[in-house]
Structure 1
Amino acid sequence: MAASLRRRHRELIDLDPRTNKLKPGCNHYHQALIIKGNKILASAHNSMGTRSRGSGYNDNTIHAEVAVVKSLGDISLLRGATLIVYRNNSLGNLLNSKPCSDCQCFLNKCISKYGLRKVLYSVESSLQSST
């Protein structure tokens, strides 16, 4: 069962148009998806934040985990959904994307308060659950 779940999640990652499209000079790319069933509800990536982009500070990174929940729009859509965080290099290989402590705290709140079912993150060539 676990192998088929990994295959299904990798297929969803490959469907996302931003996968494997690195900006010039980038060595890797952090991306997050919120999925329910076989449908991608939201997709976002790490970006630099500004006051107008909701980080409250200039030149602050907005992590993909937070950005994807914000892009979802309706927090109630988290109920029963799975959040996938992954990092890939220019060859499309999955790399470690374990959430930082701030994002892990944020994701725990999404699970306990808003009903997010599961969080998966990439580790060298596979996905691992943080819950």
Structure 2
Amino acid sequence: MTLNVVTLVGRVGGDPDVKYFESGSVVCNCTLAVNRRGRDNDEPDWFNLEMWGKTAEVAANYVRKGRLIGVTGSLKFEYWQDRATGANRSKPVIRVDKLELLGSKRENEANDTGHTSNDEF
């Protein structure tokens, strides 16, 4: 048996980067800052998020920098070769399957989302 499930709750590090393809597909990428439980909140852990389809569209419309969200997905690695040095590079990415918009209604309205809290997509 194999298992690859990641669940995170944190704040979005910047406005989402959304790309639409001629095929009709849409992808949304953003970063998520997550504080570790029991740690002295020195520096958060940062995660790269990738969302597709309806989840990407919801993120594009309602997620903004500083927004509290919860995500569930799987861990994958992206690989490429550095153009300048030719060195092989990689980075971990969370492929989001489920997005939850969290936070208080007042906090969400302050971020101009106009969407109620605890919505799930």
TM-score of the aligned structures, taking structure 1 as reference length: 0.29
Task: Select the structure with the greater relative contact order (CA < 8 A; seq sep ≥ 6).
Answer: 2
